[in-house]
Amino acid sequence: MARIHRLATLLAMLCLALFAARPALAQSVLRDAETEALLADMANPLFKAAGLSPASGQVVLIGDPSINAFVAGGQIVYINAGLIDAADSANQVQGVIAHEIGHIIGGHAVFQRDGGYGNISILSLLLGAAAMAAGSAEAGTGILMAGQRAAIGKYLAYSRVQESSADAAGARILNGAGVTGKGMIGFFEKLTQQMHQYGYYTTGPEVDPFAQTHPLSQDRVQTLTADLQNAPSWSKPLDPDLERRFKRVQAKLRGYANDPKATLRIYPKTDTSVPAHYARAYAYHKSGYPEQAAAETQALVKLAPTDPYFLELEGQILLESGQPRSALEPLRKATQLSNNAPLIASTFGHALVATEDKANLKEAERVLRDSLTRDRNNPFAWINLGTVYDRLGDEPRTALATAERANLIGDPRTALISARRAMGGLAQGSPDWVRAQDIAMVSEQAMKDDKRYRGGR
Ligand SMILES: [Zn+2]
């Protein structure tokens, strides 16, 4: 719970600066139950080996096609979707995570108000997210990327000393966790090749920020290799379960984020593997071929009828193709089979609301509240819960849901107004009233800080 709050606060604080001064820099945190579960399983042994509690460590996925990973305060490692796309294995990504945890324990991240992560998109809400966020981002990709790169460059102007210390710590972490460092070396070599290809000091958009902010000298790679090769874990085989799940998540992200034509080139129809079906389902859905998308999803569900993520995708595609009633069964099953994964439950709640059937409102309320109790950091779920209360005629709780969402996306003005409205109608001292009061106080403070911040510039 605490870590979700901290992330929400961090996001809110960052957004504040963003929305006030430079909306063009807003970036998306991508949320997806399967991806988050995988990243946690990849990172938890590394957090533990670093002496950090896995409960407070977190890996957050950013919807950005460039190859980058970074820390920005707290025990959060940010990984771009572009890095997952470029990596050959889960083990390579673990190498990057270990290096970034090295920055965390070295205390290298300096929190800056400029630049940051504004919008939260949910990987599942393809069309919804496209309409809300990606649509505008797509139009201005060039500008966005340039600005973002500059901000990240400034953000992470790490010295060589800090890089070497993060490498050394990263190697210790991998060795301590019993994870081979082959992936770390492999990924760094990949970046070195890219740099040679594009020129080291080029600041054009073709050079990735990770390469820019992580100068990779030959002796750096040599030192790192020596540190890693001497450990017993060097010759340990890769974890087959993590690698298999990585290929799935990578395919899903590619299908979601990349141009559908590119996806179909990597995963041609002749490829009947699970990752290929996954990638094509997203690619077809994204380009408006619901029947082909459904065929790919059905192939997956046939292969593994109790896989919650396949059922989640089946439900989403139906929901987003305007068939919320048909989406209920697969989403209900996916929610149960995933042991009520909050993100999957929130999609189920969305489908219940989308049926526009009054008889479904109570179940939607229960499902959404349960999801949000365990994961507040989900603006779409707050929108849906607000709709439920609005239809039930519960004005104070409609206002509270609006306040929660506004608080999350960094809109303290709306959060304050809505929280006060909610407090006016709720029983004083009740849990919802206390929550509204908390949001009101935090938002008031955020507005004061924002004024001071802008005044001081
Ligand atoms: Zn670094």
Q: What residue type is 392 in one-letter code?
A: L
Residue 374 CA to ligand 1 centre (angstroms) = 32
Residue 216 CA to ligand 1 centre (angstroms) = 10
Residue with tokens 């399967």: 34
Residue 295 CA to ligand 1 centre (angstroms) = 43
- Residue 269: how many other CB atoms lie within 10 Å: 10
φ/ψ of residue 253, rounded to 5: -65, -40
Residue 211 CA to ligand 1 centre (angstroms) = 9
Tokens of 73: 């305060």
Residue 258 CA to ligand 1 centre (angstroms) = 26
CA 190 – CA 176 distance, rounded (Å)? 24
CB 248, CB 275: distance < 8 Å? yes
Residue 34 CA to ligand 1 centre (angstroms) = 27
Residue 259 CA to ligand 1 centre (angstroms) = 29
**3-state class (DSSP) for residue 60:** strand
Residue 99 CA to ligand 1 centre (angstroms) = 6
CA 89 – CA 237 distance, rounded (Å)? 12
Residue 85 CA to ligand 1 centre (angstroms) = 19
φ/ψ of residue 9, rounded to 5: -65, -45
Q: At what angle do helices 395-409 and 379-391 cross, to 10 degrees?
A: 170
In the DSSP assignment, the letter for residue 234 is: G
Secondary structure (DSSP) of 85-137: HH-SSHHHHHHHHHHHHHHHHTT-----SSS---EEEETT-HHHHIIIIIHHH
Residue 77 CA to ligand 1 centre (angstroms) = 11
Residues 6+ apart with CB under 8 A from 371: 340, 342, 343, 345, 346, 349, 378, 381
Tokens of 279: 């990638």
CB 253, CB 86: distance < 8 Å? no
Torsion of CA 200, 205, 209, 213, to 10 degrees: 40
Task: Quote the radius of gyration of the chain (alpha carbons, Å).
Answer: 22
φ/ψ of residue 71, rounded to 5: -120, 155
Q: Largest alpha-carbon pair distance within the chain?
A: 67
Residue 226 CA to ligand 1 centre (angstroms) = 18
pLDDT value of residue 269: 96
Residue 120 CA to ligand 1 centre (angstroms) = 25
Residue 352 CA to ligand 1 centre (angstroms) = 44
Secondary structure (DSSP) of 423-440: HHHSPTTSHHHHHHHHHH
CB 446, CB 13: distance < 8 Å? yes
Residue 242 CA to ligand 1 centre (angstroms) = 24
CA 136 – CA 27 distance, rounded (Å)? 11
| Tens of pLDDT, residue by residue, the chain (457 residues) | 333 333 333 333 332 223 222 222 345 889 999 999 999 999 999 999 999 998 889 999 998 888 888 888 789 999 999 999 999 999 999 999 999 999 899 887 654 333 444 444 455 443 333 323 333 333 333 333 444 444 444 444 446 677 888 899 999 999 999 999 999 999 988 877 766 665 443 334 444 556 555 656 677 788 889 999 999 999 999 999 999 999 999 999 999 999 999 999 999 999 999 999 999 999 999 999 989 999 999 999 999 999 999 999 999 999 999 999 999 999 999 999 999 999 999 999 999 999 999 999 999 999 999 999 999 989 999 999 999 999 999 999 999 999 999 999 889 999 999 999 999 999 999 999 999 999 999 999 999 988 876 664 4
Residue 289 CA to ligand 1 centre (angstroms) = 41
Residue 233 CA to ligand 1 centre (angstroms) = 22
Tokens of 393: 């005629």
Residue 332 CA to ligand 1 centre (angstroms) = 42
CA 159 – CA 156 distance, rounded (Å)? 9
pTM of the model: 0.81
pLDDT value of residue 143: 37
Residue 94 CA to ligand 1 centre (angstroms) = 14
Residue 102 CA to ligand 1 centre (angstroms) = 8
Residue 221 CA to ligand 1 centre (angstroms) = 13
- Residue 43: how many other CB atoms lie within 10 Å: 23
CB 433, CB 426: distance < 8 Å? yes
Residue 81 CA to ligand 1 centre (angstroms) = 17
Residue 100 CA to ligand 1 centre (angstroms) = 6
Secondary structure (DSSP) of 353-399: HHTT-GGGHHHHHHHHHHHHHH----HHHHHHHHHHHHHTT-HHHHH
Tokens of 128: 């919804």
CA 346 – CA 329 distance, rounded (Å)? 14
Residue 218 CA to ligand 1 centre (angstroms) = 15
The dihedral region occupied by 29, where left means phi > 0, alpha psi between -120 and 50, and beta the remainder, is beta
Residue 213 CA to ligand 1 centre (angstroms) = 7
